Amino acid sequence: MEIRVMENIFDENDRTADELRAKFREKNVFVINLLGSPGSGKTSLLEKTLGALSKKFSVAVIEGDLFTARDAERIDRLGVPVVQINTAGGCHLDAPMIKRALDSIDLDALDVLIIENVGNLVCPASFDLGETIRAVVLSITEGDDKPLKYPIIFKDAAIVLLNKIDLLEHTNFDLNSARSDLQSINPTVEIIETSCTKDSGLENWNGWLENKILSGSEKV
Ligand code: MG
Ligand code: ZN
């Protein structure tokens, strides 16, 4: 019984995600599903990214959080349009939540939509949001064993940001083994080392993202 219920949930989610993907394509909006553990640095990275990105593109953000609007307030301070989704304890965003959030976003005026998912390496991986790409933030302090322990979230990522790289010397994180594990799960994944406190690797990430947006938004 429980299995049947889960299948129905995924089917409904996938139908809505396909609908969203078609709409994003029609409106030429590039959508990033930003994933990672709580405390991996998703919002800090987003703040740094928006600074560069919003000079070139019209950008909006959807913030997924269990209870607070703290991250949305941080984005709002940058003058970027932001919609908060509170999942009230739910540990992931799903496509119907994104569909409702779009009521408050003008897709015609938009180039890029960034969705910061609920901090969690497990079930957000199973919920397609109609995104163009997935980006996963994995911070050095989480440990290099995470790719093999949570392969599903890394499998479909276009890019993994190894964040808080400035803390490397204070940990036993093995960069080579993290990189080779990621490549074994996902041979085409891009991997960039970043630090938001030291401002390192951010130009690489922003440049990579800009290229993706420009090539992804070319009309077919
Ligand atoms: Mg956050
Ligand atoms: Zn969940």
Q: For 147-172, write each residue's pLDDT tens digit.
A: 999 999 999 999 999 999 999 999 99
pLDDT, tens digit (0-9, with 9 covering 90-100), for 11-60: 999 999 999 999 999 999 999 999 999 999 999 999 999 999 999 999 99
Decide if pLDDT at 218 tops 60. Answer: no
Å from CA of 123 to ligand 2 middle: 5
Å from CA of 33 to ligand 2 middle: 15
What's the CA gap between 31 and 11, in Å, rounded?
A: 21
Confidence of residue 1 (pLDDT cuts 50, 70, 90): low
pLDDT, tens digit (0-9, with 9 covering 90-100), for 184-203: 999 999 999 999 999 999 99
Q: Show contacts of 48-54: CB within 8 Å, 24+ apart.
A: 48/196, 48/199, 48/202, 49/114, 49/202, 49/205, 49/206, 49/209, 50/75, 50/78, 50/80, 50/114, 51/78, 52/202, 52/206, 53/112, 53/206, 53/209, 53/210, 54/78, 54/79, 54/80
Å from CA of 67 to ligand 2 middle: 14
pLDDT, tens digit (0-9, with 9 covering 90-100), for 52-102: 999 999 999 999 999 999 999 999 999 999 999 999 999 999 999 999 999
| pLDDT at site 8 | 83
Cα four-point dihedral sign 127, 131, 134, 137: negative
Residue 50 per-residue DSSP state = H
| pLDDT at site 2 | 66
Q: How many CA atoms lie within 13 A of 135 on its CB side?
A: 28
Å from CA of 71 to ligand 1 middle: 5
| pLDDT at site 219 | 42
Decide if pLDDT at 220 tops 70. Answer: no
What's the CA gap between 59 and 112, in Å, rounded?
A: 5
Å from CA of 11 to ligand 1 middle: 28
Å from CA of 116 to ligand 1 middle: 7
Å from CA of 115 to ligand 2 middle: 15
| pLDDT at site 9 | 83
Closest CA to 147 of 113, 176, 104, 126: 176
The pTM of the whole model exceeds 0.85: yes
pLDDT, tens digit (0-9, with 9 covering 90-100), for 128-140: 999 999 999 999 9
Q: Which ligand is nearest to the CA of 93?
A: 2
Q: Please, which residues bridge with residue 70 across strands? A: none
